Structure 1
Amino acid sequence: MSTKANWNYPTAIKFGAGRIAELPEALKTAGISKPLLVTDAGLVNLPVTQKTLALLKAAGVEAGVFADVKPNPISANVEAGIAVLRAGGYDGVIAFGGGSGLDTGKVIAFMAGQTRPMWDFEDVGDWWTRADPKGIFPIVAVPTTAGTGSEVGRAGVITDETTHTKKVIFHPLMMPKVVIADPELTVGMPKFITVGTGMDALAHCLEAYCAPGYHPLADGIAVEGIRLVFENLPKVYLDPNDIEARGHMMSAAAMGATAFQKGLGAIHALSHPVGALYDTHHGMTNAVFMPYVLAVNRSAIEQRIARLAAYLGLSPSFEAFQHAVLALRVRLDVPHTLRQFNVDDSKRDLIGEMAIVDPTAGGNPIELTKARALDIFDRALNGWV
């Protein structure tokens, strides 16, 4: 991919193949001289991470590594990372990886200089104002997947292991100072992760577009992000080395996270408790829920989805878009039901209770009552579109 660009929306983004080489300069820009690289346990020993550490060493940057991070990160991971950061005298964080590494790295940097418990900063009302902004360490984000878009977000999703509840920790200064968006870093992803993260990006764009409220900036970004996923995710599924398509997917991921400032909805409100209780992959769980949520929300979004379908070159109707989503899932080998993830109905009632209090539930186009959440869950469990 020959395209390179520098963007300052919503933060400084160095986009393009090979731009990982600019990481040492990005650290200087962010005011970081001794970074702690935070990533997940599955990524730390892979070539993409080791080459990045070698690049830093060659530039004379003394970087530490923290990788005790689960795929669905828990508060204990954050606490352990804070201890490493403080003990090592690090002055900033490189949040490196997919959603788990990015979110955990950001929350570690946020919490490192705070005195209150992490759950005091959950994304509820103005709780973020409780934080001491001087205690927030600078962050440089380096995504290695094209899905969550956490590299351009002001929050991190962490599971409270005592209640098996995913919680959103938020502060405006959690936004990374600089992002290195290099599509070459995503080439080594397994197909399952490529699809799951790509469908996560699609879910972010789609739910942001469908969320109620007036935000034409978010709507425009979301619509183009949806187009990029539909056109490019099948390409990278078939050819993992297609750098141009990988670049478009990396853009779509950042676009989804930028757009969902407008809101998310029932896809995420149900995916969060299922992921917390069954430890399923977040993006792939979103992919399973997507057509069932669309069907239940149809009355509130039919005209909006028809406009979206027309933009995608489909017949301008809800049915055409719904069919396109189902066809995309088949092409990418996305499971049709939750049962294929070994999810059962034993925790059905609990999932319904958790879904309606999830922070994303309020962005659904129609009120997400417990009955409605359970209806969606039953459809996803059994494949009733």
Structure 2
Amino acid sequence: MSGQTRPLWDFEDINDNHLRADPDGIAPVIALPTTAGTGSEVGRASVITDEQAQVKRTILHIRMMPRIAILDATLTLDLPRHLTAATGADALTHCMESWCSPAWHPMAEAVSVKGMQMIKAFLPRVVADGQDLEARQQMLVASSLGAAAFQRGLGGVHAIAQSLGALYDQHHGLLNAILLPYVLEANRSVLQTQMDDLAVYQRLPSPGFSGVMDWLLTLREQIGIPRTLGEIGIDDGDAERVGRMAFADGCSHTNPIRHSAQVYAQIFSCAVRGE
């Protein structure tokens, strides 16, 4: 977007702001991902922190979609273990929140399930051995699937994580990984069918929501993700502010339940304290 004559924030993904952009001023993109997480190589948006306002803003335009995406696993071989885990958990969160979205999109549903099956098989492997080229390649594909799936929408995990990322400058994937079980628990009352089906598709030893949660908590331990936000230095002194920001975040619109700002503040506090 550097070829535009207007300020960057004029193109924030609100209503028809993207129409303000001059398509000829958008440089073509060739994407070579070096992490298996966000899946931006198949997306048309960028999330950028507005440091002055302490918020994350989405800049979107169809011409920002990469014309070529090259998934070369050798580019990810030197990624440190903790970033491999956090970015992989980000891809998992994309798939899971897409799966739980109330929006109707059968293709995205199918893609999200396949992504989670691949992550279940290969994320523990690649965290255990960063030189496992097959696992690296499969995680790159799973990451792209997750990004394709979230055209169905994301949810409360991203709504809170994006708020925290702007306020505390913490790694987005790590925030997602920590928050995921807490947000799922807050949405549990409307997820029975989705979790029953997912437990079957993932061939989990226990059925339903409990089976899915057991898998996620075991995976969290396997790949070294902290249990609480408190463990990475975040307290809940700003809980009300975080709740308001999460409620206002666009991702909250496709959460399975339209939680209030107060409920988002409570979820955040639970994730800080491990409650």
Shorter-chain TM-score above 0.5:
yes
- Preserved contact between residue 187 and residue 240 of structure 1 (Cα < 8 Å): yes
The alpha carbon displacement at 1:316 in A equals 3.0
1:191 and 1:302 map into 2 onto residues whose CA distance is 34
1:154 and 1:188 map into 2 onto residues whose CA distance is 27
2:153 and 2:176 map into 1 onto residues whose CA distance is 15
Determine the structure 1 residue equivalent to 2:13. 123
1:129 and 1:209 map into 2 onto residues whose CA distance is 30
Determine the structure 1 residue equivalent to 2:88. 198
> What whole-Å deviation, never above 9, does each CA across 1:20-44 have from its counterpart, x for those lacking one?
xxxxxxxxxxxxxxxxxxxxxxxxx
The residue identity in structure 2 corresponding to 1:325 is L
- Preserved contact between residue 239 and residue 266 of structure 2 (Cα < 8 Å): no
Pairwise CA RMSD of aligned residues?
0.9
Determine the structure 2 residue equivalent to 1:257. 147
Greater relative CO (CA pairs within 8 A, separation 6+)? 2
Question: Are 1:248 and 2:138 matched, yes or no?
Answer: yes
Tell me the TM-score normalized by structure 1: 0.70
Question: Are 1:178 and 2:68 matched, yes or no?
Answer: yes
The alpha carbon displacement at 1:337 in A equals 0.3
Determine the structure 2 residue equivalent to 1:225. 115
Question: Are 1:358 and 2:249 matched, yes or no?
Answer: yes
Unaligned runs of 5+ in 1: 1-110
The alpha carbon displacement at 1:112 in A equals 2.0
Determine the structure 1 residue equivalent to 2:272. 381
1:307 and 1:381 map into 2 onto residues whose CA distance is 30
> What whole-Å deviation, never above 9, does each CA across 1:127-148 have from its counterpart, x for those lacking one?
1111111111111111011001
- Preserved contact between residue 44 and residue 60 of structure 2 (Cα < 8 Å): yes
> What whole-Å deviation, never above 9, does each CA across 1:184-240 have from its counterpart, x for those lacking one?
111101001000000000000110111112100000000110111111010011111
The residue identity in structure 2 corresponding to 1:294 is L
The residue identity in structure 2 corresponding to 1:245 is A
Number of residue-to-residue matches in the alignment: 274
Question: Are 1:321 and 2:212 matched, yes or no?
Answer: yes
Determine the structure 2 residue equivalent to 1:295. 185
Counting only pairs closer than 5 Å after superposition, residues 97-136 of structure 1 correspond to structure 2 as: 111-136=1-26
1:302 and 1:123 map into 2 onto residues whose CA distance is 32
Determine the structure 1 residue equivalent to 2:162. 272
The residue identity in structure 2 corresponding to 1:113 is G
1:357 and 1:327 map into 2 onto residues whose CA distance is 32
> What whole-Å deviation, never above 9, does each CA across 1:109-136 have from its counterpart, x for those lacking one?
xx22212211111111221111111111
Question: Which of residues 323, 342, 361 in structure 1 aligns to 2:233?
Answer: 342
- Preserved contact between residue 145 and residue 194 of structure 1 (Cα < 8 Å): yes
1:303 and 1:263 map into 2 onto residues whose CA distance is 18
Percent identity over the alignment?
Answer: 47
Question: Are 1:332 and 2:223 matched, yes or no?
Answer: yes
- Preserved contact between residue 233 and residue 245 of structure 1 (Cα < 8 Å): yes
2:50 and 2:73 map into 1 onto residues whose CA distance is 32
- Preserved contact between residue 98 and residue 108 of structure 2 (Cα < 8 Å): yes
Unaligned runs of 5+ in 2: none
2:54 and 2:259 map into 1 onto residues whose CA distance is 21
2:116 and 2:253 map into 1 onto residues whose CA distance is 22
Instruction: Name the SS of the counterpart of 1:159 in structure 2.
Output: strand
The alpha carbon displacement at 1:313 in A equals 0.5
Instruction: Name the SS of the counterpart of 2:57 in structure 1.
Output: strand
> What whole-Å deviation, never above 9, does each CA across 1:288-326 have from its counterpart, x for those lacking one?
000000000011112111101111101331100011101
Instruction: Name the SS of the counterpart of 1:123 in structure 2.
Output: coil
1:239 and 1:335 map into 2 onto residues whose CA distance is 20
- Preserved contact between residue 157 and residue 179 of structure 2 (Cα < 8 Å): yes
- Preserved contact between residue 240 and residue 262 of structure 2 (Cα < 8 Å): no
1:330 and 1:208 map into 2 onto residues whose CA distance is 23
Instruction: Name the SS of the counterpart of 2:10 in structure 1.
Output: helix
Question: Which of residues 232, 237, 247 in structure 1 aligns to 2:127?
Answer: 237
The alpha carbon displacement at 1:374 in A equals 1.2
2:92 and 2:74 map into 1 onto residues whose CA distance is 21
Compare the two structures and name the one with the higher helix fraction: 2
- Poorly superposed stretches of 4+, deviation over 2 Å: none
1:301 and 1:165 map into 2 onto residues whose CA distance is 30
Compare the two structures and name the one with the higher strand fraction: 1
- Preserved contact between residue 247 and residue 264 of structure 2 (Cα < 8 Å): yes
- Preserved contact between residue 123 and residue 359 of structure 1 (Cα < 8 Å): no
The residue identity in structure 1 corresponding to 2:59 is I
2:59 and 2:38 map into 1 onto residues whose CA distance is 15
Determine the structure 2 residue equivalent to 1:283. 173
